Each structure stands twice: as structure tokens, then as C-alpha cells.
């Protein structure tokens, strides 16, 4: 059941919601569409659901025209951020809705519907709440009802629009894991939209990073995290430090820190480097190039700690992550002076024009001498 | 009561101010609303229950009541259909001229009812645009029942639509979209999802629409021609009797209209209460 999206464009009066988007979705795949609001991810989902249509492009399902089928005929499951449960129906009636509205000859009997609803309620762990109304449920329970309702019609594709957006943090994490397990159990092709990159990284087989109606990068979560292909992906996926680099004879550097340029970026004079918080070494030996930095704050976040360090040399505050247990070892208390250097940078050269826009397609990864990755 | 709350000392001045505002508004309501309303019933029964019954149990009074009901029975369903269609169009579709449609829906509220009546005379009256053509085909609209119905429809046009539009706007279309994706047809979506969501607001609109349809005076007065037993609705009958110094008769019918108003008010409060409950239920 491969879904092939080819060259989709959708224009609204003031913006291009989708601009030449192509994507293949394999059977059973769990795909996350991730991007800021206005990036076109929801438009893409609505097109798959049959609630919107592209101005150009095609969607095929095993070679068949998917767009020719109306929303009713597509056999997809849809879950919205705010659940969109039918408030005047009980949980059971909500779940049964998609079966009850079928034309008579395709409609299961009352008993079959009852059995199916029981089964689904058990699956979403709401077996006891079938006779409640949606208003009597918590957010997490409502979203599970919405999911059961979508699964009741045995869809070929499950579409989720910010499914955890309205839930509080703990419920969200629990529901995420649960959804992932459910997916592994059912093997249903699932496309979900989120603006939360962490959620996308955690859940998806493959993530599609979108920005301004275009796809910036498609890949497995760890690939996208490790090798972001564009500056946008660097900044949007995970946390990062953005450092302006300049070319000096045979090195690239910023302030008192530099790395041998080697063969990389010979043509360019300036570049921007992205450094993940875990790719900053805090104890660079004397004699190797490094910045002198002052530790400003330590934010303990469970197993890891986020540090804010200020580098006077480049007048920038950088984020560093260390394992919490390393905190004591290096005398990492606010005010401490550290020798800091990036161990891994994703670098994009800048053009020579006044605007200094990144040069498309040019990118290299630089590693420091004490890099381990 | 906020008197005991910390940080807000209860001052005598503030309490006095609050009391005087409450008393003033109650006095005002009594003077301008309750007393006149009560006087309608007092006047109607001034010569006893027998005179009251007698003044209603007359052919022209019964005809006025029948006509008023007829006008309401035709007007209200038409306005329900129009109100639903207009609210649907305003909240579910994007189209050119949407703002204009919104303004037009409100138009009858801003035009004086007498002017609305005159508009119909201007169109369908003997000297009107379509008057001669209608006359040659033997169709009578002005000074006849069709005119009364048309004028009432015009006046009551906004009531249902204005109740539905803000609600449907707030509810959005996600539930309907989910229903469609689940395989429901357009009609199934309307009857199983949309209608249950708007039923209280719709009922509320129908109630207001009905009250106005039965109570309208200005517009129907212009198109009626005041033909007793044929084109006088209850409000018109009240005026005619009053002009004939038949005070008991006038107030008897007026008291029926007042009763309708009170009934509407009671139902409206009940609906509002139910509506609130339904809202909290969501």
C-alpha cells in the first residue's frame, strides 16, 4: 500500500502552503511531518484525508489515483488535536459512528458492531468508560476515544494531526509510547503531523522536515539529527549553537578557536557552523585552540544537565549538555572558567553577497581533534 | 460578596454605591416594564372574566388569531431553512461577497419596520413595479395574506441565522470533517453531527423568530389594509379596537400577546439554561 505523493502544490491567496512536495510512504511506515506552523504539514495531511485538494501534483496508492476518491471513500482514519469527538454521543456511540453510517449492505449487524466496539475500547484501555460522554473524560482518554473511532473503520492509513498537542507533558509522553506500541502491533501506515521535533524524533520511522511549504529533509530520526542537510533543519531539529565562522589562511575559526580547513570550503570566506550542545568539549588541554568561557548557569534536567556558558571572545552564550554525574568531577559550578571547543560542527558556507545567504547544496562536517563521534 | 476578601476592604461608600445601583435598576424595570405589563391584564379584566371571554370569542378576534398563527406557521419554517443555509454558508465556505451576505442578514434589524412594509407596497402594490402585472394575472399580494407573510418573513429573517452563525463559527468544522472521513454522507453528517450540535441555538432562534412573527406590527400594518376578519393579525386587531374605544376588547387581545411574550421568556430562560448545560457538557 505505497502512497506516492508527486509534485504537490497548494496555493492559498497569501501563501504557498505546499510548494512542489514529493514523498513516498511505504506500507506500515510511521512517518512524522514536522515543521513550524505555516510550513504546510497540516495542508499535506488534509490532502491525504480528502479534506483539501492540491492545485497541482498527484497522489497514487499502488498506482491508483488516490485524489479521485472522496474523503468518504478513502478509508483513512483521522485524529485531530482537539479530538473532535461527537459531544452528544457516548464513547461507544462515537467509536461505532463509522460503522453505523455505512450503507446497509456494508453495515455490520448490531451485534457485530457491539463486539467490534468492545474490542477497540479494550485496545485503547477504556473498556469501562463506554457509556460516558466525552465531557466526562480527561484529555488523554478523549484522544484514545478519537483513536478508537478512527480505527473502527479499519483504515488503510491513519492520519494524526498534532494528536498530543493539547495534552499535558506526562500524559503526552505516556500516550506517545503507547501509540508507538500500538503501531508496532497493528502495522498500520501512519502519518502524523507535529510541531514538536522531540515527538517526531521519538516516534517516527522516518521524519519529514517541512518549512514554508517545502520539504527540507527526509530521513530516519537519527540521520536527520546527526546530519541535518540545511541550516533550517539544524535549528529546528534538536537544540544547537549557531556560530559564525571565518576563513583565515588554512583554518576556519571564530575568535581564539580554529580548526584546519583541510580541503573543505576552499572557495568561501565565511560560513556558519552548528554545534550540538553535546558536541562542546569543556576541558580542552592547553596548547590546543579553544575559547575561554565562563559558566553562567547549570540547569539540572534529570540524567543530563544543561549549562549556559558565555564566551567573551565571540560575545555569545552557548548551550552545553553534560551527563549529570559529570557535574561534580569538573568543578562545574557557576563562575568557573572553562576551556571550550566544538568537537563536531555542521557547516554551511555563506555567499559573498551583502545578505550573506547560505550557498545551497554546500555543506561539510568538521571534527575537532578530541572528537569521539 | 467580596466584603471579607483580603486586600479589598469593604467601605461603606462602596456598599452604598452598589445598593443604589441595584435599587435604581429594579425601580426602573418596575416603572417601565412590570407596571405596564400588569396594567394590560388589569385593563383586560376590568369588566370581569365574562367580558374578557366575550371580547375574544368573536368572529373577527378568532380570525385575527387564526391569521396570526397562519403567518407564524409559514414564516418560521422558511426562516429555519434560510437561517440554516445562511449560517452554513457563512461559517463553512469561503466565497466572494461573504461580508455582503453578513450585512444583508442584519439589514432587517436596522431598517424601520414601516419602511420594510413600504418596500413591499412599492414592489407589489397597485402602483408598484409588479403591481399591474400581478393585477392582470389576478394575484393579490398587498392588502392580502401573501403580503402579510412576505413582510413578516422580511422582518424575522435575521433571527435564526444570527443565533447559529456565532455558534457554528465557534464549533468549527472538525467534527463534520471527521464524520465525512469516517464515511458519513452529507445528510448523515448534517443530521447526526451538525444538527445535534446546534439544536439548542436553533430552537432558541425559532422561539425568537416566532415571537416576532406573531407580534410584528409596523411592517404588517402597512401591507395589511386593515380588512377586518381577513387581513388583521392580532397586533392590528388590538390597534383597531383601541381606536374604536373598545378598551376591554383591545386589552383582551393584547393580554394574549403579552402571555405569548411571557411564555417565550420562560421558554427562552429554560433553553438558555439547557444550552449552558449542553455547552458545559462539551
**pLDDT (tens digit per residue) in A4-25:** 999 999 998 888 889 999 999 9
With cell 441595584, the residue in question is: B22
* Chains A–B, number of C-beta pairs less than 8 Å apart: 66
**pLDDT (tens digit per residue) in B226-256:** 888 888 999 999 999 999 998 888 999 999 9
Inter-chain residue contact B181 with A97, CB threshold 8 Å? no
Give the residue with greater pLDDT, A316 vs B7: A316
C-alpha cell at A155: 483504515
Q: From the CA of B126, how many Å to the nearest CA of chain A? A: 50
Whole-number average pLDDT of chain B: 88
Is the predicted pLDDT of residue B7 greater than 60, yes or no? Answer: no
The full set of domain ranges for chain A reads 3-231, 240-367
pLDDT, residue B70, reads: 94
Q: Which of B128, B116, B121, B122 is nearest to B144 (CA)?
A: B121
- CB-based contact (8 Å) between A84 and chain B? yes
Span A295-320, mean pLDDT? 92
How distant, in Å, are the alpha carbons of A49, A51, A112, A257, B254 from that of B177?
A: 9, 7, 26, 56, 49
With cell 441565522, the residue in question is: B161
d(CA A72, CA B254): 55
- CB-based contact (8 Å) between B272 and chain A? no
Inter-chain residue contact B177 with A101, CB threshold 8 Å? no
- pLDDT band of residue A178 (cuts 50, 70, 90) is confident
Query: How many Cβ atoms from other residues are within 10 Å of residue A325's Cβ?
Result: 10
* Partners of residue A71 in chain B, C-beta under 8 Å: 177, 180-181
- pLDDT band of residue A68 (cuts 50, 70, 90) is very high
Is the predicted pLDDT of residue B3 greater than 80, yes or no? Answer: no
Inter-chain residue contact B181 with A135, CB threshold 8 Å? no
Is the predicted pLDDT of residue A359 greater than 80, yes or no? Answer: no
Span A314-327, mean pLDDT? 90
Question: ipTM of this model?
Answer: 0.85
Q: From the CA of A71, how many Å to the nearest CA of chain B? A: 5
Q: From the CA of A102, how many Å to the nearest CA of chain B? A: 7
Q: Minimum mean pLDDT among A40-49, A330-339, B29-38, B193-202: which range?
A: A330-339
Helix or strand holding residue B179 (H, E): helix B174-181
Inter-chain residue contact A135 with B281, CB threshold 8 Å? yes
- pLDDT band of residue A270 (cuts 50, 70, 90) is confident
Is the predicted pLDDT of residue B141 greater than 60, yes or no? Answer: yes
Residue range B49-281 in CATH 1.10.3720.10: yes
A53, A83, A84, best to mutate vs chain B, most B CBs in 10 Å: A84
The full set of domain ranges for chain B reads 12-44, 49-281
Inter-chain residue contact B181 with A149, CB threshold 8 Å? no
pLDDT, residue A354, reads: 60
d(CA B101, CA A312): 62
* Partners of residue A98 in chain B, C-beta under 8 Å: 182-184
Angle at A29 between CA A42 and CA B184, to 5 degrees: 55
pLDDT, residue A363, reads: 83
Percent of chain A residues past pLDDT 70, beyond the cut:
95
pLDDT, residue B1, reads: 45
Contact B143, B117 (CB under 8 A): no
| CATH superfamily to which A3-231 belongs | P-loop containing nucleotide triphosphate hydrolases (3.40.50.300)
How distant, in Å, are the alpha carbons of A120, B17, B78 from that of A185?
A: 13, 68, 53
Q: Which of residues 166-205 of A touch B (CB under 8 A)?
A: none
In the CATH hierarchy, which top-level class contains the domain A240-367?
mainly beta
- CB-based contact (8 Å) between A90 and chain B? no
Q: From the CA of A205, how many Å to the nearest CA of chain B? A: 25
Contact B41, B34 (CB under 8 A): no
pLDDT, residue A373, reads: 42
Amino acid at each position: 500500500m505505497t502512497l506516492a505523493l508527486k509534485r504537490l502544490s497548494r496555493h492559498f491567496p497569501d501563501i504557498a502552503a505546499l510548494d512542489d512536495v514529493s514523498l513516498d510512504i511505504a506500507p506500515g511506515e510511521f512517518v512524522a511531518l514536522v515543521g513550524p506552523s505555516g510550513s504546510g504539514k497540516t495542508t499535506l495531511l488534509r490532502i491525504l484525508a480528502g479534506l483539501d485538494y492540491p492545485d497541482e501534483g498527484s497522489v497514487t496508492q499502488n498506482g491508483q489515483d488516490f485524489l479521485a476518491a472522496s474523503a468518504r471513500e478513502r478509508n483513512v482514519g483521522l485524529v485531530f488535536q482537539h479530538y473532535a469527538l461527537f459531544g452528544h454521543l457516548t464513547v461507544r456511540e462515537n467509536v461505532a459512528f463509522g460503522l453505523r453510517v455505512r450503507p446497509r449492505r456494508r453495515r455490520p449487524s448490531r451485534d457485530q458492531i457491539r463486539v467490534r466496539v468492545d474490542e477497540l475500547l479494550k485496545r485503547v484501555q477504556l473498556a469501562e468508560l463506554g457509556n460516558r460522554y466525552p465531557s466526562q473524560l480527561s484529555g488523554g482518554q478523549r484522544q484514545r476515544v478519537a483513536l478508537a473511532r478512527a480505527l473502527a473503520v479499519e483504515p488503510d492509513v491513519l492520519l494524526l494531526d498534532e494528536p498530543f498537542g493539547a495534552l499535558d507533558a506526562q500524559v503526552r509522553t505516556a500516550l506517545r509510547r503507547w501509540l508507538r506500541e500500538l503501531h508496532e502491533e497493528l502495522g498500520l501506515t501512519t502519518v502524523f503531523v507535529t510541531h514538536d521535533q522531540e515527538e517526531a524524533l521519538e516516534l517516527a520511522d522516518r521524519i519529514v522536515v517541512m518549512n514554508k511549504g517545502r520539504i527540507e529533509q527526509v530521513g530516519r530520526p537519527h540521520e536527520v539529527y546527526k546530519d541535518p542537510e540545511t541550516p533550517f533543519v539544524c535549528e529546528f531539529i534538536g537544540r544547537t549553537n549557531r556560530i559564525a565562522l571565518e576563513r583565515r589562511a588554512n583554518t576556519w575559526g571564530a575568535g581564539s578557536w580554529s580548526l584546519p580547513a583541510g580541503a573543505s570550503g576552499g572557495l568561501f570566506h565565511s560560513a556558519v557552523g552548528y554545534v550540538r550542545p553535546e558536541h562542546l568539549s569543556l576541558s580542552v588541554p592547553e596548547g590546543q585552540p579553544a575559547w575561554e568561557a565562563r559558566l553562567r548557569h547549570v540547569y539540572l534536567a534529570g540524567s543530563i544537565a544543561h549549562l549556559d556558558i558565555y564566551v567573551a571572545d565571540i560575545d555569545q552564550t552557548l548551550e552545553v549538555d553534560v551527563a549529570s554525574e559529570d557535574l561534580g568531577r569538573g568543578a562545574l559550578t557557576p563562575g568557573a572558567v572553562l576551556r571550550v571547543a566544538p568537537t563536531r560542527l555542521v557547516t554551511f558556507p555563506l555567499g559573498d553577497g551583502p545578505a550573506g545567504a547560505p550557498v545551497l547544496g554546500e555543506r561539510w562536517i568538521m571534527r575537532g581533534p578530541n572528537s569521539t563521534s | 460578596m467580596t466584603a471579607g476578601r483580603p486586600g479589598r476592604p469593604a467601605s461603606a461608600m462602596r456598599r452604598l454605591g452598589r445598593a443604589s445601583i441595584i435599587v435604581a435598576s429594579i425601580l426602573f424595570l418596575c416603572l417601565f416594564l412590570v407596571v405596564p405589563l400588569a396594567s394590560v391584564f388589569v385593563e383586560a379584566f376590568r369588566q370581569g372574566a365574562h367580558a374578557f371571554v366575550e371580547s375574544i370569542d368573536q368572529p373577527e378576534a378568532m380570525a385575527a388569531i387564526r391569521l396570526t398563527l397562519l403567518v407564524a406557521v409559514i414564516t418560521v419554517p422558511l426562516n429555519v431553512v434560510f437561517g440554516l443555509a445562511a449560517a452554513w454558508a457563512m461559517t463553512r465556505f469561503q466565497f466572494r461577497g461573504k461580508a455582503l451576505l453578513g450585512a444583508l442578514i442584519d439589514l432587517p434589524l436596522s431598517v424601520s419596520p414601516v419602511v420594510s412594509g413600504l418596500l413591499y407596497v412599492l414592489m407589489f402594490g397597485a402602483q408598484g413595479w409588479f403591481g399591474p402585472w400581478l393585477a392582470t394575472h389576478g394575484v393579490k399580494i398587498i392588502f392580502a395574506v401573501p403580503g402579510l407573510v412576505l413582510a413578516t418573513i422580511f422582518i424575522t429573517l435575521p433571527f435564526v441565522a444570527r443565533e447559529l452563525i456565532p455558534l457554528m463559527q465557534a464549533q468549527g468544522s472538525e467534527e463534520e470533517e471527521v464524520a465525512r472521513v469516517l464515511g458519513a454522507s452529507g445528510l448523515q453528517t448534517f443530521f447526526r453531527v451538525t444538527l445535534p450540535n446546534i439544536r439548542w441555538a436553533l430552537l432558541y432562534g425559532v422561539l425568537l423568530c416566532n415571537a416576532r412573527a406573531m407580534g410584528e406590527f409596523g411592517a404588517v400594518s402597512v401591507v395589511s389594509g386593515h380588512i377586518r376578519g381577513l387581513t388583521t393579525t392580532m397586533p392590528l386587531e388590538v390597534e383597531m379596537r383601541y381606536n374604536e374605544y373598545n378598551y376591554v376588547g383591545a386589552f383582551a387581545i393584547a393580554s394574549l400577546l403579552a402571555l405569548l411574550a411571557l411564555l417565550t421568556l420562560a421558554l427562552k430562560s429554560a433553553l438558555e439554561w439547557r444550552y449552558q448545560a449542553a455547552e458545559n457538557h462539551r
